[in-house]
């Protein structure tokens, strides 16, 4: 029965405090020294910044009198978190305590015709890595090594790979996530959005979220500021086919038909221009191409958009007027994970244009000009010039890609039509490719074709299963790392230092990179014994020291220029015209539409539903889904299904179903149905990052389904190579499908 | 002195930081919890309302769990905080049955456990762990007898409700609506 009032516990088994599973219980029960009124007595606190997500909140790791890590809390002085971590950050200690962690180097061996991993010493494992990297360099040239990276550790391997002679460095966070918005923004404002986004939510009068689910994505400072905005009575407008948490906090929720966002954006632009709601002084002084834009959108009326988006013309006008009356204290949020349909750079352009018309860029309550500390690089020799780099793997496609495209790198690793592949070896750090990259069969084909693959991780993620050598990295609680320099309203530095010795035989990434470098005769690129020396040297260049930072954790510096544009201040934007380009000269030059257009995208066939995916506040990608503290909050994803759809299929709440996509790919595991009015009848929704198939992840294995596995037809963004991933259609299998038996 | 908590449902995003912060602060074994988050949806697409709530022991003025405890292990401490003395608890479970909020559970070590409003922190002048962790600042804790406290102010200025008022327990966790 479809209920009009769902009552669902979303976290933590409140009722009756039932046990989750004996395995999980043992973990803390073992060392529980239980005293309900004074659980922890003596503390010392050690500065860190969080590595559970890219927000990198600064905090304090607390250890008890025996030196055991007991908790981590936010640093009050840090603008990323204002003293409060998100649930993932608070539960981050689970990364340290996870008993499934990688604790020794592993090397692939054949035993009785079966491949398996054998534990190895560092000396042996590093020797194998160095030997294979040498072979690749000798045989194909060092350019044939690619690095896939994410997170803090990537930096050291980037140094290593560059020193070795390759420029083939890619971060899936570009092509699989925020690349399109950076390109769209750069084309418009001459600068990228960056991270954290410089959204002045704290002081905004109107926040527009289009597919951005703040509150489910716990980008900490933004969540906090949105909460402040709610308190102040700011208008929030949320565009989402799903009734997201943010939608429920909004004055206006526009339940848009999926894949039609650009039509809505263009209609908003139409209303804002035609009703003269735009910031005239700003547009005149700072922008280029207004008349062409006006001409371009003249027929893109709310009535036109209604037919496409399903949003009532009245609602489109009303929300446009709200934005106009709040301008320039208005934020049309650029979003973060924006790789949806392959025209994402154009959609990001439309969002940027809207902000430009409202005059919000560089204005209070809109977007501030962020600043970071300019930290001198520790002196090392110059890197050799590679003969070719990631640009060659694009084969003339994606001319505005600003960095390597993961999928192009993967293609370049596959021999084609009798031609050998360009890429022969992979170095992977901190990114679980099988649960990140769309089109898994292609990924597997590439990996099979490699001469050598080494993976550095803290956990036995799926990607480690493909490696020849697995190197165990210690967690962020057990190492020094680079200083955090991310920009904010004021420039800040934050220090991460170890609160405990590395568990088992795990090591910090800087150490691993340095050892490999030395074995390759590249030791001069890592001219230090301990990474502390680098930090102290860098800090002294900016008038601080390691000692000072060890006490304070974060340090604020002076801004060099104002936070906002001054009234009528002359300002040159870093575009070809020096203006904010409503009409993009750059796109025109490369043969792309200089003004964004709406193009229809494929619709799900009968009995298929669009697979949308997103985040839960307790998890980050697939990296947290084995964390004992966080799986305790949420240990699997579920599939949101509209009650009408459930009725047609005869599905019950909590029932397990398998999913089959338009290409016949079936989910490895079943997923539980969650019947809810919060989702449209034409789509289903799941949280990303579940459905792990590595048994070594004892809590995560087989829990829920993987969206990534089902995304087999990514639509490339011709401008910059992003992979549109919201064009997956799935249908339900109510019975367990018959599959080949796994050994 | 009357300690109470108010939770702003307009701001809560249901992230469960309160849950994990409590588990870690109070060394609650993994698999158990003293606070939790609920989601309530009203209406049908697209006319919907959603309420997310962080719930816990309501530290009731008229606490059925204390009344029904055969050993006196459940008692009311300073400021109205309802506590369980683990040593006196025989684990009979009568209090678990009597609580209309399902706020109590059997700890694997054989006694009944629940939220303490982090009395060990409150005594030191700190806020409960959940309140101090919440990234949305949606939780208020303090003394209702002090008209200048945040909680008194917020309850004076905002509409609020309590859970299961019909149970007559006089709960002291308030939900701002
Ligand atoms: S937002 Fe959460 S997970 Fe991300 S860095 Fe901050 S505390 Fe860590």
Residue B154: both structure tokens together: 């917020």
Is A443 near ligand 1, meaning CB less than 6 Å away? Answer: no
Q: Which candidate, A740, A135, A718, A633, places its Cα nearest to that of A424? A: A135
Pseudo-torsion of CA A6, A11, A14, A18, nearest 10°?
Answer: 110
Q: Is the CB of A277 under 6 A from ligand 1?
A: no
Q: How far is the CA of B136 from the centre of ligand 1 (A)?
A: 14
Tokens at A291, concatenated = 């008349």
Residue with tokens 């990688």: A102
Q: Is A633:B19 a contact under the CB 8 Å cutoff?
A: yes
- B17, B19, B24 ranked by CB distance to A93: nearest: B24
Across the range A374-381, mean pLDDT stands at 97
- Quote the CA–CA distance of A399 and A719 in Å, as a whole number: 6
DSSP state of A453: E
Mean pLDDT of A204-229: 96
pLDDT digits (tens, 9 = 90+) for A471-496: 999 999 999 999 999 999 999 999 99
Ligand 1 site, residue A89, Cβ cutoff 6 A: yes
Residues in chain A: 743
DSSP annotation of A376 reads P
Q: Which atom of ligand 1 is the closest one to the Cα of A59?
A: 7
Nearest CB among A8, A19, A224 relative to B135 is that of A224
Nearest CA to ligand 1 atom 8: A89
What would the mean pLDDT of A34-52 be, rounded to a whole number? Answer: 70
Angle at A618 between CA A705 and CA A404, to 5 degrees: 70
Strand partners, A117: A108
- Which pairs with CB-CB distance under 8 Å and at least 24 residues apart come from A652-657? A655/A734, A657/A732, A657/A733, A657/A734
Count of A-B CB contacts under 8 Å? 210
Which pLDDT does position A588 carry in this prediction?
A: 98
Looking at residue A37, its pLDDT comes to 44
Question: How far apart, in whole angstroms, are the C-alpha atoms of residue A333 and residue A335?
Answer: 5
Average pLDDT value for residue range A168-196: 97
Asked if A38 is an interface residue toward chain B (Cβ–Cβ < 8 A), one would say: yes
pLDDT on residue A82: 97
Domain boundaries, chain A: 10-97, 176-370+564-589, 609-742
Inter-chain residue contact A85 with B132, CB threshold 8 Å:
no
Per-residue confidence (pLDDT) for residue A114, from 0 to 100: 86
Q: Which residue has the higher pLDDT, B166 or A26?
A: B166
Average pLDDT (B51-63) is: 97
pLDDT tens digits along A683-707: 999 999 999 999 999 999 999 999 9
The CATH number for B56's domain is 3.30.70.20
* Smallest CA separation from ligand 1 atom 6, residue: A57
Residues of B in contact with A33 (CB under 8 A): 27
C-beta neighbour count of A684 within 10 angstroms? 29
CB-CB: which of B15, B30, B41 is closest to A25? B30
CA distances, A480 to each of A395, A477, A484, A486, A737 (Å): 39, 9, 11, 17, 48
Could you tell me the two tokens for B85?
A: 């003395």
Token readout for A114 is 């079966």
Residues A527/A514, Cβ–Cβ less than 8 Å:
no
| A:254-283 residues touching chain B, CB 8 A cutoff | 255
Q: Which two tokens stand for residue A25?
A: 């219980």
Residue B135: list chain A partners with CB under 8 A. Answer: 81, 84-86, 218, 220, 223-224, 227
Alpha-carbon separation of residue A557 from A366, A431, A483, A492 (angstroms) = 23, 32, 14, 6
Distance in angstroms (rounded) separating the CA atoms of residues A361 and A628: 42
Cα A320-A324-A327 angle, rounded to 5 deg: 135
Q: Left (φ > 0), alpha (ψ -120 to 50) or beta: where does B72 sit?
A: left
How far apart are alpha carbons A602 and A636 in whole angstroms?
30
Q: Which chain B residue shows the shortest CA-CA distance from A231?
A: B11
| Contact list, B45 vs chain A (CB under 8 Å) | 243, 255, 642, 677-681
Residues of chain B contacting residue A16, judged by C-beta atoms under 8 Å apart: 96, 102, 105
Burial class (CB in 10 A: 0-12, 13-18, 19+), A421: middle
Distance A49 CA to ligand 1 centre (A): 9
For the residues A234-248, what does the mean pLDDT come to? 98
| Gap between the Cα atoms of A414 and A426, Å rounded | 12
Which 3 state secondary structure label does DSSP give A555?
A: strand
**B contacts of A253 (beta carbons < 8 Å):** 46
Rounded to the nearest angstrom, the gap between the alpha carbon of residue A1 and the centroid of all alpha carbons in its chain is: 37
How far does the centroid of ligand 1 lie from the alpha carbon of residue A554, in Å?
16
Nearest CA in chain A to B123: A37
Q: How do residues B111-162 score in pLDDT, each as one tens digit? A: 999 999 999 999 999 999 999 999 999 999 999 999 999 999 999 999 999 9
Spatial separation of the C-alpha atoms in residues B68 and B58, rounded to whole Å: 16
Pocket flag, ligand 1, residue A86 (CB < 6 Å): yes
Q: The domain containing residue B152 runs over which residues?
A: 3-176
For residue A292, give both structure tokens: 């062409």
Return the CATH class of domain A10-97: mainly beta
Q: How far is the CA of A378 from the centre of ligand 1 (A)?
A: 27
CB-based contact, A41 to chain B, within 8 Å: no
- Is the torsion defined by CA of A287, A291, A294, A299 positive or negative? negative
| Total domains in the fold of chain B | 1
CA separation for the pair B175, B161 (Å, rounded): 5
Q: HSE (CB half, 13 Å, CA atoms) of A454?
A: 25
Cβ neighbours of residue A377 closer than 8 Å, sequence gap 6 or more: none
Question: What are the start-end ranges of the H helices in A634-725?
Answer: 643-649, 707-710
To test ligand 1's pocket by mutation, which of A73, A89, A91, A476 has the most ligand atoms within 8 angstroms of CB?
A89
pLDDT exceeds 50 at position A716: yes
Architecture of domain A609-742: Beta Barrel (2.40)
**Residue B33, φ and ψ in degrees, nearest 5:** -155, 155
- pLDDT-above-70 percentage for chain A: 94
| Model pLDDT for residues A522-573, shown as the tens digit of each residue | 999 999 999 999 999 999 999 999 999 999 999 999 999 999 999 999 999 9
Candidates A459, A472, A404, A409; CA nearest to A622 is A459
CA distances to A376, A440, A601 from A728, rounded to whole Å, are 45, 14, 11
Would the pLDDT of A381 be above 90?
A: yes
- Asked whether A435 lines ligand 1 (CB < 6 A), one says no
Residue B40: strand pairing partners: A7, B51
* Mean pLDDT of the region A62-90: 96
A85 Cα: distance to centroid of ligand 1 (angstroms): 6
Work out the mean pLDDT of chain A and round it to a whole number.
93
pLDDT tens digits, one per residue of A246-285: 999 999 999 999 999 999 999 999 999 999 999 999 999 9
Selected from 3.40.50.620, 3.40.50.300, 3.20.20.140, 3.40.228.10, the CATH number assigned to the domain covering A176-370+564-589 reads 3.40.228.10
In the block, tokens 């981050």 appear at A92
The pTM score is 0.93
Q: Using CA positions, which residue lies closest to atom 1 of ligand 1?
A: A220
d(CA B36, CA A11): 6
pLDDT score recorded for residue A741: 53
- CA dist A608 and A606 (Å) reads 5
CB-based contact A628 B36, cutoff 8 Å: no
| B65-100 pLDDT, tens digit each | 999 999 999 999 999 999 999 999 999 999 999 999
Name every residue whose Cβ is closer than 8 Å to that of residue A9 and which is 6 or more positions away in sequence.
A15, B36, B37, B38, B39
pLDDT of residue B30: 82
Read off the pLDDT of residues A593-640 as tens digits, 9 standing for 90 and up: 999 999 999 999 999 999 999 999 999 989 999 999 999 999 999 999
Q: What is the pLDDT of residues A505-523, one digit of tens each?
A: 999 999 999 999 999 999 9
Is A218 near ligand 1, meaning CB less than 6 Å away?
yes
pLDDT tens for residues A395-429?
A: 999 999 999 999 999 999 999 988 899 999 999 99
Name the CA radius of gyration of chain A, rounded: 26
Q: Pick the residue of B16, B42, B128 with the most A CBs within 10 A to test the interface with A by mutation.
A: B16
A680 touches chain B (CB under 8 A): yes
Q: Closest-CA residue in chain B for A27?
A: B30
Q: Which of A226, A227, A327, A318 is nearest to A271 (CA)?
A: A318
Q: Does A216 touch chain B (CB under 8 A)?
A: yes
Q: Considering only CA atoms, which of B69, B77, B117, B75 is closest in space to residue B96?
A: B69
The pLDDT score that the predictor gives to residue A417 is: 86
The answer on pLDDT for A27 being more than 50 is no
> In 10 A of CB B85, how many CB atoms?
16
First to last CA, chain A: 40
Kindly determine whether residue B35 and residue A14, on different chains, have CB atoms separated by under 8 Å.
yes
Instruction: Return the pLDDT at A246.
Output: 98
Q: For residue A710, what are its two tokens?
A: 């089902």
Residue nearest to atom 4 of ligand 1 (CA): A53
């Amino acid at each position: 029965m479809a209920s009009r009032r769902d009552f669902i516990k979303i976290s933590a088994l409140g009722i009756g405090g039932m046990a989750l599973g004996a395995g999980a219980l043992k973990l803390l029960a073992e060392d529980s020294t239980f005293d309900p009124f004074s659980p922890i007595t003596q503390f010392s606190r050690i500065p860190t910044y969080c590595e559970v997500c890219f927000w990198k909140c600064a905090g304090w790791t607390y250890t008890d009198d025996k030196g055991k890590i007991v908790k981590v809390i936010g640093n009050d002085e840090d603008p990323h978190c204002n003293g409060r971590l998100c649930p993932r950050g608070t539960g981050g200690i689970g990364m340290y305590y996870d008993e499934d962690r990688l604790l020794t180097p592993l090397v692939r061996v054949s035993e009785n015709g079966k491949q398996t991993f054998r534990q190895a010493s560092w000396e042996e494992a590093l020797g194998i890595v160095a030997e294979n990297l040498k072979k690749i360099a000798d045989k194909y040239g060092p350019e044939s090594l690619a690095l896939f990276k994410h997170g803090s550790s990537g930096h050291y391997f980037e140094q290593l790979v560059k020193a070795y002679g390759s420029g083939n460095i890619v971060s899936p966070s570009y092509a699989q996530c925020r690349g399109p918005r950076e390109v769209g923004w750069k084309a418009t404002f001459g600068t990228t959005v960056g991270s954290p986004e410089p959204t002045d939510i704290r002081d905004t009068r109107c926040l527009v979220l289009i597919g951005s689910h703040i509150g489910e994505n716990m980008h900490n400072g933004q969540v906090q500021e949105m909460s402040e905005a709610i308190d102040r009575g700011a208008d929030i407008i949320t565009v989402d086919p799903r009734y997201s948490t943010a939608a429920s906090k909004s004055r206006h929720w526009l339940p848009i038909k999926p894949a039609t966002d650009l039509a809505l954006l263009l209609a908003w632009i139409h209303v804002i221009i035609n009703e003269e709601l735009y910031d005239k002084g700003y547009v005149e002084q700072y922008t280029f191409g207004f008349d062409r834009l006006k001409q371009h959108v003249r027929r893109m009326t709310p009535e036109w958009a209604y037919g496409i988006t399903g949003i009532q013309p009245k609602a489109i006008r009303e929300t446009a007027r709200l934005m106009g009356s709040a301008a320039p204290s208005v934020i049309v949020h650029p979003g973060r994970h924006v790789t949806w349909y392959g025209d994402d750079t154009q959609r990001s352009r439309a969002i940027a244009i809207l902000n430009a018309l409202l005059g919000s860029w560089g204005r209070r309550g809109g977007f501030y000009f962020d600043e970071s500390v300019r930290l001198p690089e520790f002196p090392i020799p110059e890197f050799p010039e590679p003969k070719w780099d990631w640009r060659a793997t694009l084969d003339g496609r994606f001319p505005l890609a600003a960095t390597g495209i993961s999928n192009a790198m993967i293609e370049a690793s596959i021999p084609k039509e009798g031609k050998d592949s360009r890429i022969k070896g992979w170095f992977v750090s901190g990114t679980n490719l099988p649960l990140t990259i769309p089109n898994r069969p292609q990924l597997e084909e590439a990996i099979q074709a490699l001469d050598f693959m080494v993976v550095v991780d803290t956990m036995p993620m799926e990607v480690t299963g493909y490696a020849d050598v697995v190197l165990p990295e210690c967690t962020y609680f057990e190492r020094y790392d680079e200083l955090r320099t991310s920009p904010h309203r004021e420039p800040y530095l934050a220090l991460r230092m170890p609160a405990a010795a590395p568990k088992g035989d795990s090591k910090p990434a800087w150490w691993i990179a340095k050892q490999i470098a030395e074995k390759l005769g590249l030791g001069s690129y890592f001219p230090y014994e301990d990474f502390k020396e680098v930090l102290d040297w860098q800090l002294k260049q900016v008038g601080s020291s390691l000692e000072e930072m060890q006490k304070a954790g974060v340090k604020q510096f002076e801004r060099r220029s104002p936070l906002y544009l001054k009234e009528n201040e002359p300002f040159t934007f870093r575009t070809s015209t020096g203006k904010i380009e409503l009409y993009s000269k750059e796109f025109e030059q490369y043969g792309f539409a200089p003004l964004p257009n709406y193009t229809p995208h494929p619709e799900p066939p009968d009995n298929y539903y669009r697979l949308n995916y997103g985040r839960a506040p307790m998890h980050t990608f697939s990296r947290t889904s084995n964390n004992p503290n966080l799986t305790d909050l949420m240990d699997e994803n579920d599939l949101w299904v509209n009650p009408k759809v459930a009725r047609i299929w005869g599905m019950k709440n909590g029932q397990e179903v398998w999913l089959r996509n338009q290409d016949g790919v079936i989910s490895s595991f079943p997923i539980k149905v969650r019947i809810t009015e919060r989702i449209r009848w034409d789509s289903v929704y799941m949280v990303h990052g579940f459905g792990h198939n590595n048994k070594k992840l004892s809590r995560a294995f087989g829990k829920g389904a993987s969206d990534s596995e089902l995304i087999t037809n990514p639509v490339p963004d011709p401008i910059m190579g992003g992979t549109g991933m919201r064009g997956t259609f799935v249908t339900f299998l109510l019975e367990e499908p018959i599959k080949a038996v796994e050994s | 002195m009357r300690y109470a908590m108010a939770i702003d449902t307009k701001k809560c995003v249901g992230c469960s930081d309160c849950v994990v912060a409590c588990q870690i602060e109070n060394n609650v074994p993994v698999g158990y919890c003293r606070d939790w988050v609920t989601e309530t949806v009203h209406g049908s697409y697209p006319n919907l309302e959603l309420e997310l709530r962080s719930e816990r022991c309501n530290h009731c003025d008229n606490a059925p769990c204390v009344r029904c405890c055969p050993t006196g292990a459940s008692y009311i401490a300073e400021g109205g905080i309802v506590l369980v003395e683990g040593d006196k608890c025989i684990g009979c479970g009568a209090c678990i049955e009597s609580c209309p909020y399902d706020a109590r559970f059997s700890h694997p070590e054989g006694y009944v456990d629940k939220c303490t409003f982090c009395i060990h922190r409150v005594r030191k002048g700190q806020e409960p762990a959940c309140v101090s962790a919440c990234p949305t600042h949606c939780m208020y804790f303090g003394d209702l007898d002090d008209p200048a406290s945040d909680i008194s102010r917020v309850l004076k200025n905002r509409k609020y409700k309590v859970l299961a008022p019909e149970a007559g327990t006089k709960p002291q966790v308030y939900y701002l609506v």
